[in-house]
């Protein structure tokens, strides 16, 4: 039988659990980082939009052609959305993603001097950019405190007991800000992605027997 711990109920206990989870995941995935390839901030902005309902691995392949053809914000802003769609449709939802990428690049060109703004609210003003994307940019590009609530983060934080049956990304983010030291947030979320893919999987029964959190995880939903 798997070892089961009771989920912590009060904020102090959840903070203690969070710190222990952070420490163990650091040791398990010391080099975890963003799995989307990029050289410039605007490229990550494009890739994270393409990654919706698509694997990062596929996005990394598709953007090679896109960035070769349109090597900068101005070039992509001037591109016909139909030409963008022809390249990115392999990521799924090609029409809406191409539309958002085109509109986003035009706004960067016209309102931000073709540069990605280092401001959370300004990022949210860009077409196709939500809180998850804005947090990713703040954390990975600008080195600012960030909590990226992707599907792995939401699923694992519920399973571990850091949040209690909370599925809405904004609510999970708000709860985690109370638990996770600001300087740890971005890397912690990246490590949850690695752990969710390799051990605490969604499509198969999680591999609790080889999980570094086995003895402290209440295994909610398992």
Catalytic residues: 132, 150
Rounded Cα gap, residues 158 and 165, in angstroms? 6
Burial (Cβ within 10 Å: 0-12, 13-18, ≥19) of residue 139: buried
Rounded Cα gap, residues 124 and 42, in angstroms? 14
Rounded Cα gap, residues 42 and 37, in angstroms? 12
Rounded Cα gap, residues 216 and 222, in angstroms? 14
- Close Cβ partners of 111 (under 8 Å, ≥ 6 residues apart): none
- Close Cβ partners of 202 (under 8 Å, ≥ 6 residues apart): 151, 152, 155, 196
Rg (CA), the chain: 19
């Amino acid at each position: 039988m798997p070892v089961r711990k009771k989920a912590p109920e009060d904020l102090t206990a959840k903070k203690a659990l969070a710190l222990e989870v952070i420490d163990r995941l650091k040791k398990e995935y010391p080099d975890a980082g963003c799995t989307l390839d990029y050289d410039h901030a605007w490229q990550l902005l494009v890739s994270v939009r393409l990654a919706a309902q698509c694997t990062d691995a596929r996005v990394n392949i598709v953007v090679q052609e896109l960035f070769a053809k349109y090597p900068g914000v101005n070039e992509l802003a001037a591109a016909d959305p139909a030409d963008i769609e022809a390249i990115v449709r392999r990521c799924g939802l090609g029409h809406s993603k191409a539309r958002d990428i085109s509109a986003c690049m035009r706004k960067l060109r016209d309102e931000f001097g073709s540069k990605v703004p280092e401001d959370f609210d300004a990022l949210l003003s860009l077409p196709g950019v939500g809180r998850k994307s804005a947090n990713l940019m703040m954390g990975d590009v600008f080195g600012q405190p960030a909590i990226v609530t992707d599907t792995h983060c939401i699923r694992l934080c519920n399973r571990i007991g850091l949040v209690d049956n909370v599925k809405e990304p904004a609510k999970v983010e708000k709860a985690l800000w109370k638990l996770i030291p600001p300087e740890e947030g971005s890397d912690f979320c990246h490590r949850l992605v690695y752990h969710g893919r390799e051990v605490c999987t969604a499509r198969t029964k999680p591999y609790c027997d080889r999980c570094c959190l086995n003895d402290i995880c209440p295994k909610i939903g398992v």
